[in-house]
Amino acid sequence: MVRITVLDPVVAQRLEKLNQRGIPPLSNLTVGEARRLSSEMAKELLGPAINVERVRDFNVPVSGVEIPIRAYVNSTRICLPALVYFHGGGWVLGDLDGVDWVCRSLTVATGCAVFSVGYRLAPESKFPTPAEDCYQVTKWLVENASTQGLDPNRVAVGGDSAGGNLAAAVCLMARDRRGPVLVHQLLIYPITNHAFNTKSYRDYANGYYLTTEDMRWFWNHYLREETDGSNPYASPLVAKNLSGLPPALVVTAGFDPLRDEGEAYSARLQEAGVNSRLIRFDSMVHGFLDFTDLKQTRQAIDESALELRRVFLMN
């Protein structure tokens, strides 16, 4: 069955405004320039403040460095379930502030604690460092659950874009290393494969917020060498065995170059006997959670929260 989709008119208008500003492609920018531009654009897109009972910043020691964490709690209960969240930005861009609205929204909608992780970025810290940071922080939170007011048996991971990639990698690492038992993975338009050969990559190579050349720029900064792209912790889709992983919710966007690889990962999880639910927002582009005023963004948050609440109640 062929799905006929139309780009959301509000999104189309915003993309046209971005185009009129003449913002250069990432491939023409240095990392420093790209980070400054990304930070400026994130501030422009900030949604209205969402009140959360407690927000605190602290550090977790990982491999001799301190990884910044921002914890969100909107409950007076103890022994809370938790979502460990990894921000997007192609492993090169992004920070805790950029996903503050998303994390606040999720903790309010779920009642769980949300821990946002400021993992080290590429190219200063190439693969596998960001993935290892995320795994070690998740492991630390489970091992120190009592001091954090958490239930160690109800911990999920999640993230958007590169953060979704890192969440999938953390689940693979936890299984392979007999590490913490995770109950869910929330993968929002995730990067799952170091390849550019899907139909969505061809159809949406340019003009839809994220471009194919952007992704090449991100991957080139992330990987130490080309062969790293075939490592399952970089490209979860190429993992030979996906059995024994936690249930997943995979969210994709219709006009996203990454759409097909995200949906292929969900399908492979299902084939491996993992309960994986897929939701595609047909009229959206990659990164649509940044558009906090859209009804589709609210729906994506609500669907994610519903799935998390269901999983936490079952465990």
List, by residue number, the catalytic residues. 161, 256, 286
Which residue in 208, 287, 280, 290 sits closest to 250, CA to CA? 280
Separation CA 78–CA 160 (nearest Å): 28
Q: What share of the chain is helix, strand, coil (3-state, %, to 5)?
A: 45, 20, 35
Task: Count CB atoms within 10 A of the CB of residue 116.
Answer: 29
> CA 50, CA 70: separation in Å to the nearest integer?
15
Among 36, 314, 24, 7, which residue's Cα sits nearest to residue 184?
A: 314
Q: Do 261 and 198 touch, CB atoms closer than 8 A? A: yes
The answer to whether the CB of 93 falls within 8 A of the CB of 35 is yes
Q: Which three-class secondary structure state does DSSP give residue 152? A: strand
Q: Return the sign of the alpha-carbon dihedral for residues 33, 34, 37, 39.
A: negative
276 and 246 Cβ atoms separated by less than 8 Å: no
Give the position of tokens 């190219």: 123
What is the distance, to the nearest Å, from the Cα of residue 257 to the centroid of all Cα atoms in its chain?
A: 15
Q: How many CA atoms lie within 13 A of 192 on its CB side?
A: 29
